[in-house]
Amino acid sequence: MKSIIRKLTLTAAALTTFAAVGMAPATAAEKVVLGVAIPAATHGFTGGIVFWANQAKKDLEKANPDLKVIVKTAANAAEQANQLQDLMAVSKINALVVFPFESAALTKPVAEVHNKGVYVTVVDRGLTDTSAQDAYVSGDNTAFGKIPAEYLAKAMGGKGNLVALRGIATTLDNERWEAFTGVMKNHPDIKILDAKYANWNRDDAFKVMQDYLTRFKQIDAVWAADDDMAVGVLKAIDQSKRTDIKIVFGGAGAKGMIKTLMDGKDPRIVANVSYSPKFMYDSIKLTAEARLKGEKLPATYIIPSELITRENASKFYFPDSPF
């Protein structure tokens, strides 16, 4: 079956139609035992992932007596690989929704589960071999890199020095970086001084930014590529008392950063890009409902990212969310 790529917001109507499109005949299981393997809440975004996964378990088990959802969180790739084995051997899952801790390290373990007949939906951090999955749900990582690059290039007037922070070595981080640098190639007077991994972590980002501040005497802008990393970046800048950095562009729309943007509290925070962890809930819901019907999902589903500015920030502010 050819991949079907949809770029639209997951509204209630979309969730209904999604499960009824692009199906291949399948036999419904008497009971769906759905394993959910996700990273632990090591930073704000994964905190949101854990929150929405457990919310999906609560809502879906209540609505579907023939469904059991088992949520496992892992602190690293090795632990997650072991959990996949436990989900197979002990929990006897027949469906899996996995948010890989790392792409390469989890590809073989997920493939082993898939090869034993388990239906697999991969979320966000894609595998290096897509034959190990049945469906893939993700935010728009190309737009996540392209939108900040276009905004920064314009805000910098097409010239100046920029430093970047990357996440964890995953397919999605590669997509974001390729999209970002693809735009910057059109602006040769903007120099990317360095780009280092900071693991979507505030403390790691603080250390990386300290290094940048020590090595580079003039930095005009920072692409932090995540709001948690942006917090660490801002802390390092404030401690150094540097005033040359005019823009820090994070990402994913964390509620603290969106509130700062709305209130205009920090002149360095002027824009953001959406990438909500709620897609974890949607991925579990879509997979569970399809498998209860003995149906399959379209091969690929992409949730769009949008530029967030002070003018539209209230639309992306969710004060009750953990992220």
Give the tens place of pLDDT for each residue, 137-181.
Answer: 988 999 999 999 999 999 999 999 999 999 998 888 999 999 999
Q: Is the pLDDT of residue 14 over 90?
A: no
Mean pLDDT of 241-264: 96
Show me where the domains of the chain are located: 12-139+276-305, 141-273
Question: Which residues are 162's β-sheet partners?
Answer: 192, 221
Q: Is the pLDDT of residue 28 over 70?
A: no
**Which pLDDT value is given to residue 303?**
85
**Which pLDDT value is given to residue 44?**
80
Give the tens place of pLDDT for each residue, 105-142.
Answer: 999 999 999 999 999 999 988 899 999 999 999 889 99
Q: What is d(CA 259, CA 174) in angstroms, rounded to the nearest whole number?
A: 29
User: How is domain 12-139+276-305 classified at the architecture level of CATH?
Assistant: 3-Layer(aba) Sandwich (3.40)
Q: Is the pLDDT of residue 1 over 50?
A: no
Torsional class of 117: left (φ above 0), alpha (ψ -120 to 50), beta (otherwise): left
**Which pLDDT value is given to residue 264?**
94
Angle, vertex CA 150, rays to CA 304 and CA 189, nearest 5:
155
**Which pLDDT value is given to residue 170?**
87
Q: Is the pLDDT of residue 29 over 70?
A: no
Give the tens place of pLDDT for each residue, 188-237.
Answer: 999 999 999 999 999 999 999 999 999 999 999 999 999 999 999 999 99
- Model confidence at 267, in pLDDT bands (50, 70, 90)? very high
The set of residues, in sequence order, having a beta carbon less than 8 Å from that of 111 and lying 6+ positions away, is: 127, 129, 131, 132
> What is the pairing mode between strands 190-197 and 160-166?
parallel
**Which pLDDT value is given to residue 6?**
37
Question: Which residues are 119's β-sheet partners?
Answer: 95
**Which pLDDT value is given to residue 16?**
38
Write down the residue that tokens 């729309």 correspond to.
253
Please indicate whether the domains covering 12-139+276-305 and 141-273 agree at the CATH topology level. yes
Paired tokens of 149: 């690059």
Q: What is the mean pLDDT of the chain?
A: 90
Q: Is the pLDDT of residue 59 over 70?
A: yes
The set of residues, in sequence order, having a beta carbon less than 8 Å from that of 298 and lying 6+ positions away, is: 3, 4, 6, 18, 21, 22, 135
One of 3.40.50.300, 3.10.20.600, 3.40.50.2300, 3.40.50.150 is the CATH number of 141-273, namely 3.40.50.2300
**Which pLDDT value is given to residue 82?**
98
